[in-house]
Amino acid sequence: MKVLLVNGGPHKNGATDCALRAVSEALADEGVESEIFWLGNEPVAACIGCYACKKTGKCFKDDVVNKVAARLDEFDGFVFGSPVHYAATSGALSSFMDRLFMSAGEKMYMKPAAAVVSCRRGGASAAFDEINKYFTISSMPVVSSQYWNQIHGSNAQEAMQDLEGIQTMKTLGKNMAFLLKCIEAGKASGISLPEREPLVRTNFIR
Ligand SMILES: Cc1cc2nc3c(=O)[nH]c(=O)nc-3n(C[C@H](O)[C@H](O)[C@H](O)COP(=O)(O)O)c2cc1C
């Protein structure tokens, strides 16, 4: 069992990373492997709505999105982390998730996921809600903790002092491990993934 933790912030060793490390440590304590993947500092292109991915199976722009998409089968669970930027996720994570979920969301079907946010002071729950919406449109069980998954601090040094935030992340890791083990046990006892019906797509004019 392996979990991918994506750091969508501009600082490789910043506050978001501090939160993800706490999740990763708790996963390790429960015997679950994990990998923290930093998106980096190069701007991540936004989705241009070309739907090329629907024809080719790949995003039009061959960058970090396709790199992660190609590896999705390696992972059983996901954590997407972001600093709060103007009471929202970072632009990089937002663009990354738009393109990853549009081009390869199917590969995460029924895999547990969680959102993690870091901020100095405000906007955490707005950013948290934003990330969770990708999971709830993709049939991904959302893993929760004892509080909304947020840590407070302008940088890693400050975030480490947010003891409640750290504990929230540790609990999240434990809860993720528990759910992954339940899913594995379920599969081993013959429970298969729900059968999927062809999508019925309507809009509000017909
Ligand atoms: C462009 C920008 C916007 C920000 N907006 C907010 C905000 O709305 N609320 C807040 O509390 N902190 C805000 N911050 C501070 C970061 O959320 C905070 O420093 C975060 O913990 C940094 O995480 P990182 O080290 O992983 O980048 C902002 C920082 C930047 C660079």
Q: Looking at residue 205, what is its pLDDT?
A: 77
The residue written with tokens 């999740």 in the block is 23
- Write a three-state SS string for 123-177: CHHHHHHHHHHHHHCCCCCECCCCCCCEEECCCHHHHCCCHHHHHHHHHHHHHHH
Domains of the chain plus CATH, in order, are: 2-188 (3.40.50.360)
Residue 22 token pair: 């706490």
DSSP-assigned letters across all residues of 99-121: HHHHHHGGGGTT--EEEEEEESS
The residue written with tokens 């929202």 in the block is 88
pLDDT digits (tens, 9 = 90+) for 3-25: 999 999 999 999 999 999 999 99
Does ligand 1 come within 6 angstroms of the Cβ of 11?
yes
Distance 85 CA to ligand 1 centre (A): 5
Distance 206 CA to ligand 1 centre (A): 42
Does ligand 1 come within 6 angstroms of the Cβ of 123?
yes
Give the bridge partners for 119, in sequence order.
152
Residue 109 has pLDDT above 80, yes or no: yes
- 16 CA closest ligand 1 atom index: 26
pLDDT digits (tens, 9 = 90+) for 76-107: 999 999 999 999 999 999 999 999 999 999 99
The residue whose CA has the least distance to atom 14 of ligand 1 is 85
Residue 61 has pLDDT above 90, yes or no: yes
Q: Looking at residue 206, what is its pLDDT?
A: 66
Residue 199 has pLDDT above 70, yes or no: yes
Does ligand 1 come within 6 angstroms of the Cβ of 125?
no
Report angle CA 15, 21, 26 to the nearest 5 degrees. Answer: 140
